[in-house]
Amino acid sequence: MSEPDLQAHPNADPHVVMDFGGEGEKFDQSGLSPEQGPRTLRQYFDIFPRAEIQVIMEAAGLERISFSPDVPFWTAVGYKR
């Protein structure tokens, strides 16, 4: 993987950018049962429930908001008013 061009993004924090995705790599899932893996993933994504994400997006001035139907992977699209 190539290093990001931080000069192109002056507001980017180099430590955050370089560690992006690092949390997932540190999480050892090898000891989880087949039932525990999906349950743990849902718990992680339940931090931001769909309804709360909708409110946040509306407050940011977005409309015509739609979500991916695949729970817990909330992929959302909204259009600026």
Q: Which two tokens stand for residue 55?
A: 């409110």
pLDDT of residue 73: 63
**29 alpha-carbon distance from chain centroid:** 19
Q: What is the pLDDT of residues 22-54, one digit of tens each?
A: 776 777 778 889 899 888 877 877 888 888 889
- H/E stretch holding 51: helix 50-59
E strand map for 4-80: 62-67, 76-80
Is residue 14's pLDDT more than 90?
no
- Given the DSSP bridges, would you call strands 62-67 and 76-80 parallel, antiparallel or unpaired? antiparallel
Positive or negative, the CA dihedral 55, 58, 64, 69 is negative
Average pLDDT of span 13-30: 75
Q: Is 76 helix (H, G, I), strand (E, B) or coil?
A: strand
Of the listed ranges 6-10, 48-52, 61-65, the least confidently predicted one is 6-10
